[in-house]
Amino acid sequence: MSLFEKEPKKPYLTTKPSEKSFQTSIERDFLGHELKEKLLATNLLFVPNQGYMDKSELLYFPVGTSDLHQYIIDKNIDGLRADICLEEKDYKEVALHADWLIIAEFIVKEVVAPLFVALLAEYIMKKLGNKKEETNIKSKFTLVDEKTGEHTEYKYEGPAKDYRSIMLHTISKASPKGLPIPAELKIKRKRRTKKKRS
């Protein structure tokens, strides 16, 4: 997507097989042994981007990633183990695009995928507030199915207001046996009011 492109094009969500996995992310050279051991216990990894402008070796996350990480930790949801796949001393955030909300890239295990998407959608809505109607989002993550060994990339580039409904519907079908989504994170359906007969 061009940095000057303002309007997203349909389909907002695309999927494709991915080569990324927990193993390949954790085994990268820039991670120390102690952090690698810690990351083995996770089921949700924040994965850094590599290369920005003329700095091909720069490892970084989009601005706001530390806030999102803290938000997930503060929720303290049983069974969800998230961590950042980068040493603390190397952690940097970069502002990428003023017109879009860019979300960090993730690798997530199937068992927590619907829960993760519900959390991410709630975070986006709270962060944007009244701006959700005019803001576009770029989000990408790899879903790891440990039973089949399949890795699928889900890439969303579209309106913030549509993220929750599109992503939760898609991921709930892809991961039907995932951890339950807490009631406060579920989509609230509008009640239909019955018309009185005259």
pLDDT value for 195? 55
pLDDT value for 196? 55
Are 92 and 61 contacting, i.e. CB atoms less than 8 angstroms apart? yes
Listed by start position, the domains of the chain span 17-177
Question: For residue range 148-161, what is the model confidence (pLDDT) as tens digits?
Answer: 889 999 999 999 99
- pLDDT(4) > 50: no
With residue 34 as reference, give the H or E element that holds it. Answer: helix 33-39
Query: 73, 153, 151, 150: which is closest to 105 by C-alpha?
Result: 153
Compute the half-sphere exposure of residue 67: CA atoms within 13 Å on the CB side of its CA: 9
Question: For residue range 52-82, what is the model confidence (pLDDT) as tens digits?
Answer: 777 778 899 999 999 999 999 999 999 999 9
CA distances from 174 to 7, 149, 153 (A): 28, 14, 12
Ramachandran angles phi, psi of 119, nearest 5°? -65, -45
Question: For residue range 172-195, what is the model confidence (pLDDT) as tens digits?
Answer: 888 887 777 777 777 665 555 555
Vertex 31 angle, CA 26 and 36, to 5°? 50
- pLDDT(197) > 60: no
Distance (Å, whole) CA 152 – CA 140: 11
